[in-house]
Amino acid sequence: MQQHALALLRVLLSYYMTNGYAVAVGYLLISAGVGLALGTTAGAAAALGVVVTIPPDMAGPRKGKFRQMIPTPILGVPLFFAVQMLHSSPLELGILIVAGTFVAFLAMAWGKRGAPIAIALMFAIIFSLAVPPQEEVKRLTAALHVTGYFALGALLYVLYSCIVHRWLNPRYRVLMLVDTLLSLADLMRLQARQFGEDSPEMRSEASGGLISRLLARQAALADQIQSTRDVVFESPDSLPRQRLAAMVLHVLDMRDHMIACALDLDTLRQHAGHNTVLVQMHDMLILLARETDNLADAMLFGRKPERPMDYRAQLENLRWAVDDDAMHSDPNRLVTSRNPSPDALVHSLADRIANLNDEVQRLYALARGEGKPNLAAVRASWHLFVSPVAWSIKPFYTLWSWGAPALRHAVRAALAIGTAYVIALLLPWGTHEYWIFLTIVVVLRGSLAQTLERRNLRVGGTLLGCLLALSILSLHPGYLAMILCLTVAQSVAHGLALRKYLYTAVAATILGLIQAHMISASSSTVFALFERTVDTLIGAGIAWLFSYVLPSWERSQIPNLVRRVVKSQVDHARTALDLVQLDAVDNAPELKWRLARKDAYDSLTALVLAAERSLKEPRAVRPPLQPLEMLQAHAYQMLAQLTAVKTLLLLRRGSLPGERLEQPLTRASERIANLLNGKEVIVDTVNADEPAEPVREPTLAAGPEHVPQAWDTNLMPWLERRLEQAVLLAAQIRKDADQLLGR
């Protein structure tokens, strides 16, 4: 019960719900204020302006907030007015709605920044339809009045949003980092399952479902980290902000260590008696995840975190736990350069988990105010790792190709809305066609997978929302009571839109129906539940059917994503193995590597998400899933291998023999680039944890593998083995990519 209460508090105090509360307060202040000052009709119209302006108001950086918010009233007010003027002209109104839908959905070309604008513009059209038409002689006057109140609400909300967002920015910085830490802890627990009991079921899961879940969770975390970067890395001009920014950098390092911590796990499982030591490592990862959770909770509740447990001593004392009989009877215990000793593998695994432990210690030190942030890295990250906030014209130029997903989606949406308009005219309750449009707008997504998910949640949420709205209206609430209900609904609908869409659908239904009831100035509480249900089913059905019209199947996007992954792996390998870092006196080489690493993660995230969406598409149009999954796994493994190398080089900078490292690093970098670019081939490659002998080159390592310790300077065999595995993984990536590209 306590865990459930804690989970609920984490949601209620999260940055996305805090954003929802801020949005709801703005809605309450503006709609109630205008209603009390100018009358309920003016207040209801102003409330519509607020609702339409809300979608782009998300937690983000301070800079560029006004530029993100102002396009909605600039474009939405004329659309709202035009619909008001054409209420009595069905043909012209239909043309306007279809054309407006096409133009609005073109904003999807601007990605995450453009999508809320598109939704907001569609809301301007749809909620204008909800305003009852006036008599012809009064139409212009009535349209100007209601549009004026609508514009007043929209502009007041833009001003409110910019002020409140700036005021909440310090809290957003903390809460977004808290959310990232909680996700990191969840990923750590999932990663720990790879160290679980060595049963056939576990091995089957580790080779299939668990790996897929890890890749999906890594992709989600990468997207979440970027959102956190955009806020936390902005203007770190005070010590508390610098500490938060430094914590994000340590989170990035923890993500790398987590990917690397399972290296050699399959090789270790080939030896007898490994269960005990793997269980200890599993338990250690769970403990570190718990420490990360505790840090996040302390920051969430504004407490100074207590000092964490330091598990470095236990990890350094971790030894090969096997009885003598198993040790002597193990047929795989032969130690060679290609077959490391179990002791070496255990030490390597324990050392990587120890790196995670060290990062947790550094996070706590910064959170407690005891650690000093790396100001050079923080300042560099401020400029280089945040998303641009200025609007660019470049996406507009990419639209005008028939294969452009945004153009096809805009055409698809316009056709769906046009079809819905014709159907609405034929329905006996055609005065409520806006509800069909609203369902299409929120259900129809750019991919079939997202549309199917939204369809089911929308229908269920609408049914429940209709019942709740009917219950509320049956109580004959007054104006302020309805505004209060709308405030709560707006908070939930906006706050959980990207997290729990079912709750958003329920809240949005209540919001839309009560808002329509207010704007119609009707005193009737008899709500047509049947009509709303049928409208929702019609809208969801149309959205589902039109998701197959001019589809942008993921298969068509895969080749470009694969090429991007290969290119980013080449760039990352070159920067990770760059010799300049050995003699550098500043952080420039490390910064260059961090940028290359970010691009590698971003490209893999895009590929993983596309692969996930393709699973919901018809079998006939799916990309070949096996090479796609193998490419993702091998790319993450190569990132892990090179991260292990890079970590070693950074930790031992200045004490490593540069003359001895030059040849293996240069040769490995060249071979990886040649293999990934298709200029070299290694045949009969196998899993990188059991590397086969390359055909065109001898093995990089010679002699028995040595266990690297903190006091040991002879790290060459270990380093060379990592480089060799990275080379073999590069060959696997090229092979997987060729299968996907049809070569």
pLDDT one-digit tens code per residue, 471-486:
887 777 887 888 888 8
Per-residue pLDDT at 519: 64
Cβ neighbours of residue 627 under 8 Å, at least 6 residues apart? Answer: 736, 739, 740
12 and 59 in a single domain? The answer is yes
The residue to which tokens 């996305």 are assigned: 16
What does the pLDDT read at residue 706?
Answer: 38
* pLDDT for position 589: 62
Domain identity same for 562 and 522: no
Do 346 and 394 have their domain in common?
Answer: no
Asked if pLDDT for residue 694 goes beyond 50, the answer is no
- The residue ranking higher by pLDDT, 596 or 197, is 596
Confidence band of 431 (pLDDT split at 50, 70, 90): low
For residues 90 and 65, membership in a common domain is answered with: yes
Picking from 512, 530, 546, the residue at the C-terminal end of a domain is 546
Widest Cα–Cα separation across the chain: 100
Task: Name the domain count of the chain.
Answer: 3
Higher pLDDT, residue 203 or 28: 28
Domain-embedded: residue 176 = no
Sole residue written with tokens 């950098």: 249
For 610, the domain range is 554-741
With 70 as the cut, is the pLDDT of residue 619 above it? Answer: yes
DSSP for 33-63 reads HHHHHH-HHHHHHHHHHHHHHSTT--S--ST
Helix axes 342-367, 239-260, angle to 10 degrees: 160
Tokens of 349: 């695994």
DSSP 695-722: SSS--S--SS-----TT----HHHHHHH
| % residues pLDDT > 90 (the chain) | 29
605 lies in some domain? yes
Evaluate whether residue 632 is within a structural domain: yes
348 and 411 part of one domain: no
Same domain? 619 vs 706: yes
pLDDT score of 533:
77
Q: Which of 527, 546, 565 is the last residue of a domain?
A: 546
The predicted structure's pLDDT at residue 614:
86
pLDDT tens digits, residue range 191-204? Answer: 888 887 554 444 54
Confidence band, pLDDT 50/70/90 cuts, at residue 584: low
* Whether residue 528 sits in one domain with residue 563: no
CA atoms of 347 and 281, how far apart (whole Å)? 11
Find the mean pLDDT for residues 255-261: 81
| Cα 438 from Cα 543, distance rounded (Å) | 11
Distance CA 562, CA 733 (A): 10
The reply to whether 161 and 61 lie within a common domain is yes
- Higher pLDDT pick, 225 / 458: 225
Per-residue confidence (pLDDT) for residue 439, from 0 to 100: 86
What's the pLDDT at 154? 96
Q: Rounded distance, CA 172 to CA 22, Å?
A: 12
Tell whether 442 is covered by a domain: yes
Comparing 132 with 524, the larger pLDDT belongs to 132
- The residue whose two tokens read 């007041």 is 156
Tokens of 257: 């260590």
Whether the CB-CB separation of 634 and 676 falls below 8 Å is answered with no
Do residues 295 and 440 share a domain? no
Clarify whether residues 665 and 644 are in a common domain: yes
With bands split at pLDDT 50, 70 and 90, how would you rate the model's confidence at 708?
very low
Place of tokens 């279809």: 98
- Pairwise CA distance, residues 297 & 467, whole Å: 37
Nearest to 529 by CA among 476, 474, 484, 491: 474
Does any domain span residue 199? no
Q: Running DSSP on this structure, what letter comes out for residue 620?
A: G
Q: Does residue 477 sit within a domain?
A: yes
**Does residue 546 have a pLDDT over 50?**
yes
With a cut of 60, say whether residue 303 has pLDDT above it.
yes
Q: pLDDT at residue 324 above 70? A: no
State the Cα–Cα distance between residues 155 and 650, nearest whole angstrom: 52
Examine residue 715 and state whether it is found in any structural domain, yes or no.
Answer: yes
- On whether both 24 and 72 belong to a single domain, the answer is yes
Closest C-alpha to 179, from 251, 235, 261: 251
With cut-offs at 50, 70 and 90, classify the pLDDT of residue 588: low
Assess if residue 180 is contained within a domain. Answer: no
Q: How many Å apart are CA 646 and CA 249, to the nearest integer?
A: 15
SS (H, E, C) 459-528: HHHHHHHHHHHHHHHCCCCCHHHHHHHHHHHHHHHHHCCCCCHHHHHHHHHHHHHHHHHHHCCCCCCCCC
Task: Render the burial of 381-415: b for 16+ CB within 10 Å, e for the rest.
Answer: bbeebbeebebeeebeeeeeeeebbbbbbbbbbbb
135: left (phi over 0), alpha (psi -120 to 50) or beta: beta
Tokens of residue 503, six digits: 């709750």
- Per-residue pLDDT for 206 more than 50? no
Q: Quick one: pLDDT band at residue 416, thresholds 50, 70, 90?
A: very high
Neighbours of 607 (CB within 10 A): 25
Q: Are residues 571 and 535 in the same domain?
A: no
Q: List CB contacts of 619: < 8 A, sequence separation 6 or more.
A: none
List the Cα angle 159/165/171 in 5-degree steps.
160
Q: Which of 164-178, 218-232, 388-402, 707-721 has the highest mean pLDDT?
A: 164-178
Choose the final residue of a domain: 493, 518, 546.
546
pTM, entire model: 0.84
**What mean pLDDT do residues 610-619 have?**
84
pLDDT by residue (tens digit) across 32-53?
A: 899 889 988 898 899 899 999 9
Confidence of residue 104 (pLDDT cuts 50, 70, 90): very high
